[in-house]
Amino acid sequence: MDPIFELAITLPPPGSRDRLRALHAQLRAAILDGRLKPDLRLPATRALAESLCVSRNTVVAAYDLLLSEGYLVARAGSGTYVADVLPQMVPPKELRSDAAPDARLSDVARSARPIFRFFPPTDGGFDFRSGYPDASLIPFDIWMRLSARALRAASRRTAAYTAPEGQLELRDAIAKHVSFTRAVACSAEDVVVTAGAQQAFELLARILVTPGKTVVAMEEPNYVPMRISYETAGAVLKTVPVDEEGMIIELLPPDAKVICVTPSHQYPLGVVMSPRRRAALLDFAQANNAVVIEDDYDGEFRFGGRPHAALQTLDRNESVFYIGTFSKSLFPSLRLGFVVVPPWAKPALVRAKQTNDWCAPTMTQDTLAAFISEGHLARHMRKMRKVYGDRRTALLHALAQQAGDLLQPIEGDSGLHLSAHLIPSIDALVIAHQAHERGHRIQALNRFGTSPADEINGFVFGFGLMDARGIERGVETLAQMLRAAIPVQARASSR
């Protein structure tokens, strides 16, 4: 006969999905606090299920969880018992910001600097974060229809892993898309689909960097997540200053074998690399047997001036890896990007992709392929180019009207953000912190320098998350904060 089981157990009402969780939690708590003693035999699953008015499967699942956690033991032909030796409940250590990194981490991981923190949007505050498009204007009704069609097609296919380089239909659509929007000459065979631009950085670092030997040249300032990819791969990083014409090619280290640039819209300054510098960079790559990583993260949004050819378009020596992403033209959570890769490097890149995550989600690829090939992306980009152009104009006007004596915009004619230098007497990092405390979002240019000596005092103004009126109000609020900071910081510096 089963022993008397007088433990009071309270479960959610029938139909609730939390009944298993509640039963498991209450049995475990009773074991830990001693109400269910070690070596106590528990009721049979059927009997307990009847007494609690739950299905036997629920009790079996709860017992199985406790068995796997070591709280119960099963004895053949006898039943299920509370374990004699219970698992030790070790309280989690408090994570201290000043704690030394654990020695079990690699040298690179222990020395890594923190990257950007991601904060949710706030109600009522301005939000000038860069890298965020306006997802509210995406034709999600079309996207959902195409997604449903892709799902139906998937239900008719044999379950299997797909090509690491991406679905042929998507690669063909991407090749036509970049040919139309950026004059990049390629075919589907030249395209490898990735999980956004960030995975492209990681994979290229894996196949191009020999740890401790390969010299990688990067713009200064630069995009921190890209820099971390190469640091983690063990590259010898050397930074090259950026001026109004982009990276100063004359200052490239002669031993650089990988050169990372954002020529169409330098991140974070926003300047465009001049034709002269583009030609010089390609000449350097050819003369030094180096490769160029071209990150064209939002170059399709251009608001004036003549088009600037992509480096890949000008390349005649198979030196350029062209990286694109749909995080800016559509939405970041899509997590799809691509690399137009020289033929000699494609097998290695495909192998790296396969061992990293095998392939990008097939149904998402199919949906995006249809979205591009049916013309929806081109129509959306035409609409958004006008929307973002109006916002950029509103931002420049507001900066001139509200803070013309404090902020000097950096020239540039493309992308979803522009940057501005701040007068030296005010610390942009201090203001950005104060803004965050008040529920606002803005990035200081200082955050993008490799070292304190390379910091640039100013702000990055993204205009993807606010309309023109919101931008005007945001600049007005920021200008008030800046003016309030002038006398405070001036007094502090005079002491």
170-214 pLDDT tens trace:
999 999 999 988 889 899 999 999 999 999 999 999 999 999 999
Sign of CA dihedral 55, 56, 61, 62: positive
The residue to which tokens 């020695």 are assigned: 103
**Annotated domain spans of the chain:** 19-82, 161-374, 379-494
Residue 85 has pLDDT above 80, yes or no: no
Closest to 377 in 3D by CA, of 334, 330, 310, 325: 330
Give, to the nearest 10 degrees, the angle between helix 56-69 and helix 19-32.
40
User: 363 or 158: which carries more pLDDT confidence?
Assistant: 363
Query: Under CATH, what is the fold of the domain 161-374?
Result: Aspartate Aminotransferase; domain 2 (3.40.640)
Residue 115 has pLDDT above 70, yes or no: no
pLDDT confidence tier of residue 107, bands split at 50, 70 and 90: confident
Sign of CA dihedral 296, 302, 304, 309: positive
Q: For residues 352 and 203, what is the distance between their CA atoms, to the nearest angstrom?
A: 6
Residue 495 has pLDDT above 50, yes or no: no
For the chain, the 3-state helix, strand and coil shares in percent, each to the nearest 5, are: 45, 15, 40
Please give the structure tokens belonging to residue 226.
Answer: 């890209």
Please give the structure tokens belonging to residue 247.
Answer: 């990276």
* Percentage of residues of the chain with pLDDT beyond 90: 73
pLDDT confidence tier of residue 101, bands split at 50, 70 and 90: confident
Which pLDDT score is estimated for 120? 64
Task: Out of 12-21, 296-305, 387-396, give the one with best mean pLDDT.
Answer: 387-396
pLDDT confidence tier of residue 383, bands split at 50, 70 and 90: very high
Amino acid (one-letter) located at 169: E
pLDDT confidence tier of residue 124, bands split at 50, 70 and 90: confident
Residue 352, H or E segment:
helix 346-356
What's the mean per-residue pLDDT of the chain? 90
Peptide bond into 268 cis (omega under 30): yes
- Asked: is 19-82 a CATH 3.30.230.70 domain? The reply is no
Q: Is 20 helix (H, G, I), strand (E, B) or coil?
A: helix
Which pLDDT score is estimated for 16? 85
Task: Tell me the pLDDT tens digit for each residue of 464-474.
Answer: 999 999 999 99
pLDDT confidence tier of residue 136, bands split at 50, 70 and 90: very high
Closest to 107 in 3D by CA, of 257, 228, 232, 205: 232
Which pLDDT score is estimated for 88? 61
Q: For residues 435 and 426, what is the distance between their CA atoms, to the nearest angstrom?
A: 14
Which DSSP category does 77 fall into?
T
Task: Tell me the pLDDT tens digit for each residue of 145-172.
Answer: 999 999 999 888 877 788 999 999 999 9
* pTM of the complete model: 0.80
Which pLDDT score is estimated for 95? 55
Give, to the nearest 10 degrees, the angle between helix 196-208 and helix 224-232.
30
Do 161-374 and 379-494 have matching folds? no
Residue 489 has pLDDT above 60, yes or no: no
Class of domain 379-494: alpha beta
Lowest pLDDT segment from 118-127, 209-218, 248-257, 332-341: 118-127
Which pLDDT score is estimated for 338? 98
User: In degrees, to the nearest 5, what angle opens at C-alpha 440 toward C-alphas 438 and 441?
Assistant: 140
- Read off the pLDDT of each residue in 74-100 and give the average, rounded to a whole number: 74
Residues 336 and 360: beta-carbon distance below 8 Å: yes
Residue 25 has pLDDT above 90, yes or no: yes
Q: For residues 148 and 126, what is the distance between their CA atoms, to the nearest angstrom?
A: 36
Give, to the nearest 10 degrees, the angle between helix 376-403 and helix 468-494.
40
Q: For residues 440 and 423, what is the distance between their CA atoms, to the nearest angstrom?
A: 21
- Read off the pLDDT of each residue in 126-149 and give the average, rounded to a whole number: 95
Which pLDDT score is estimated for 418? 95
Give the rounded distance of the alpha carbon of 431 from its chain centre: 25
Task: Tell me the pLDDT tens digit for each residue of 263-315.
Answer: 999 999 999 999 999 999 999 999 999 999 999 998 889 887 777 889 999 99
Q: Give one DSSP letter per residue of 374-397, joined into a string.
A: TTHHHHHHHHHHHHHHHHHHHHHH
Output b/e per residue, 110-141; b: 16+ Cβ within 10 A: eeeeeeeeeeeeeeebbbbbbbbbbeeebeee
- Read off the pLDDT of each residue in 45-58 and give the average, rounded to a whole number: 91
Which pLDDT score is estimated for 8? 84
